[in-house]
Every structure is written in structure tokens, then in C-alpha cells.
Amino acid sequence: MTDRIFDRCNAVYVKNVRCKGRGVFANVPFKVGDVIDRAPTWAFEGDEAAILNRTGLIEYYFVRDDLKREANNRVVGYVVFGFISLVNHSSNPNAETIWTDGEAGAWASIVAIKDIMVDEEITHRYKNIPDYPSKVKFIE
């Protein structure tokens, strides 16, 4: 069994992080503005969010801050496929999620907002922390 699982380009890898679970790490250096990874998404609405919030999937879906949540059952979140879904939270992140919409749907890109060294964990700020159950503790 290996302790690191690499993406297809060998730019990032996943490994277990003590007290956090899986995390994504740089296998190459990234400079500010570099796109680290890009992934397709599946959008869901308010009723589906209520169901997802009662499952473990809450830990893997994203909330966009460029779309306002509305009471008219508009999209409220996205399941993001790929390594991006395993990027851990930090209150002092080194990356952020950038959204692109097109005919093929919404895509999420994780982009460096600080220089990231080889073997450094890639982190971003979660937008839906209030939705998490109180038993989930965020560790820096």
C-alpha cells in the first residue's frame, strides 16, 4: 500500500493528514496565480442540500460566494469531482477556488494565492462551515 496517490500529471498527490483525513499536497512548486487543478461539478438545490447535509457528503461539497443563496430553490452548492474535493480548510489558505460557467456546466479550479513549495499541503477557506455538524472540528 502506498502512502501517496498522485494525479495524472504528477503535480499533486493525496495522503492522510493526522486529525484531518485526506489532504492534497504539491508535488511541484506553484507560484501565485497558477492553476493547481480543475474539475467538473454537479450542482444541487436547496431540497437536495438538506439531504446532503445529513450525510458525509457535506464534507466534500462546495458553496460559491459569487452566487447568492436564494429562497427560490436556486443552486446552493456543488459536488466537485477530482482531487479538489479533498483540499482541506485553513483560515490562512494558500489557494482559492475559482468558478467558471459554460455549456459544459460549472467547473471549479483551485488556484494558488501564495507560492506553494513541494510537499506543502494545499488549503483553501471553506465557505459553508456553518452547515457542518457541531461534532466536526476544524484543525489548522
**Of the given ranges (19-23, 30-34, 49-53), which has the lowest mean pLDDT?**
49-53
Q: What is the pLDDT of residues 49-82, one digit of tens each?
A: 788 877 877 777 887 876 655 555 466 788 899 8
Q: Given CA atoms 1, 59, 87, 40 in this order, what sign does their dihedral have?
A: positive
Query: What does the radius of gyration of the chain's CA atoms come to, in whole angstroms?
Result: 15
**Residue from 85, 76, 66, 78 nearest 41 by CA:** 78
Q: Which fold has domain 31-114+123-131?
A: Beta-clip-like (2.170.270)
The pLDDT confidence band at residue 112, using thresholds 50, 70 and 90, is: very high
Q: What is the pLDDT of residue 138?
A: 55
Q: What is the pLDDT of residue 73?
A: 46
Q: What is the pLDDT of residue 1?
A: 45
Q: How far apart are CA 35 and CA 98, in angstroms?
A: 9
Q: What is the pLDDT of residue 2?
A: 61
Q: Give bridge partners of residue 100 from the DSSP assignment.
A: 107
Q: How far apart are CA 82 and CA 64, in angstroms?
A: 17
Count the helices and strands in the chain (H runs, E runs). Answer: 1, 10
Q: How far apart are CA 95 and CA 122, in angstroms?
A: 7
Q: What is the pLDDT of residue 126?
A: 74
pLDDT, average across residues 84-95: 91
Please give the distance of CA 82 from its chain centroid, rounded to a whole number.
9
